[in-house]
A = this chain, B = another copy of it.
Amino acid sequence: MEKAVQKFRQYCQDNGMRNTPERELIIRELYRLDEHFDVDRLFLRIRNTHLKLKLSKVSIYRAIPHLIKAGLIREAFSDSGTICYEHVLGHEHHDHMKCLACGEVIEFYEKKIDEIQQKICDRLDFEMVWHVHVLGGYCKKCREINRK
């Protein structure tokens, strides 16, 4: 987490931006919250953890593009209109399965998929900067419940 804060400080310096306490707070809480999150979840988290503080949701919205550019988070998938993000730093790269019944998000990773993906990009001379790979369906648990 400190690494993330450091990295963002560097990013600020490099881009003539200020390193405000609000932004550091966002990063710290972001990394404490170690799952997938959307703006609202992060906002509530900060609200509940720092009752005295009054960080506005707008600041989170404004911080996110920088956090992405700085390589701290990435867009993971969008969930019926809401964008979900996840950490990049300290998290292996992976893709997602989402249970349509219980909402659970399962992470998976297959090197082969990445390799094929990269091969396709090379073939088409496409420079990939991000990717989203989400499978929607029903998880083991929910399927079992349904069978009964």
Residue ranges of A at the interface with B (Cβ–Cβ < 8 Å): 77-78, 81, 83, 97, 99-100, 106, 108, 110, 112-113, 116-117, 120-121, 124-140, 143
Contacts and interface: CB of A to CB of B under 8 A. Distances in A.
B136 A130 contact: yes
Per assembly, the copies of the chain total 2
A126 B113 contact: no
A8 to B, nearest CB: 22
A113 B108 contact: no
A132 B134 contact: yes
26 contacts: A78-B78, A97-B120, A97-B128, A99-B126, A106-B124, A106-B126, A110-B120, A112-B116, A113-B116, A117-B135, A121-B135, A121-B137, A126-B135, A126-B137, A127-B138, A127-B143, A128-B137, A129-B137, A130-B136, A130-B137, A131-B133, A132-B133, A132-B134, A132-B136, A133-B133, A133-B134
A128 B135 CA distance: 6
